A = this chain, B = another copy of it.
Amino acid sequence: MPERKPRKDAARNRAAVFTAADSLFAQCRSPEEVTMADIAAAAGVGKGTLFRAFGDRTALIRALYEARLEPVRNAVEEGPPPLGPATPPLQRVPALLDAVLCFKLDNRHLAQALEGTGTDSPYRTEHYERWHTLLRDLLQRIPAPADSDFTAHALLAATRADLVAYLTDEKEMPREELRDRLAKFTAGVLGSTT
């Protein structure tokens, strides 16, 4: 096992980069205008350190995203209802989608940075696969919509970060209204053949 504990300064710097990047992405309009040099400067480290720690820009964004997503992931995998695994599918699916939506609302800059990396589509990431699989399996047990696989994709597509950002920032739709609309839409999809 080549698992060695990192040095103290390495850990400290890693954390500093996380914080700095998070705040920079949150402030700027477009994720593109946050450069690696900016992040390094804001974190008080050299650019080399940044690339050594994360590999490249995409990997840094992804790492940050995963870190912020972890609480949600935990709540889904082993939390209490209605998010946790003990919930019957018909209630868990809406809860899941609402959780995803809220996460994207709270972290929309970061999510947009991730989905807009360009180098690889957001669909090739591991966490999308996870969400999709979970959602599909739940849908399969309902079993209102016939095609659970595509339905899962379509429902997740309705929570795309840029759509969410567009509706809230451009159309100035309040958070609660957006949640409500997604919930209604989900209910419609789930109840289509009942």
A residues in contact (CB < 8 Å) with B: 30-32, 112, 116, 118-124, 145-147, 149-151, 153-154, 157-158, 160, 162-163, 165-167, 170, 181-182, 184-185, 188-189, 191-193
Which residue of chain B has its CB nearest to the CB of A30?
B119
Q: Which residues of B contact A165 (CB under 8 A)?
A: 121
Q: Which residues of B contact A162 (CB under 8 A)?
A: 121-123
Complex Cα–Cα for A181 and B148 (A): 10
In the complex, which of the residues B118, B123, B150, B170 contacts A116, with contact meaning CB atoms closer than 8 Å? B118
A-B contact pairs, 10 of them (CB 8 A): A116-B118, A123-B162, A123-B163, A123-B166, A124-B166, A151-B185, A154-B157, A188-B192, A188-B193, A192-B192
For chain A, what secondary structure do more than half of its interface residues adopt (helix, strand, loop), or is it mixed?
helix
User: Do the beta carbons of B192 and A145 come within 8 Å of each other?
Assistant: no
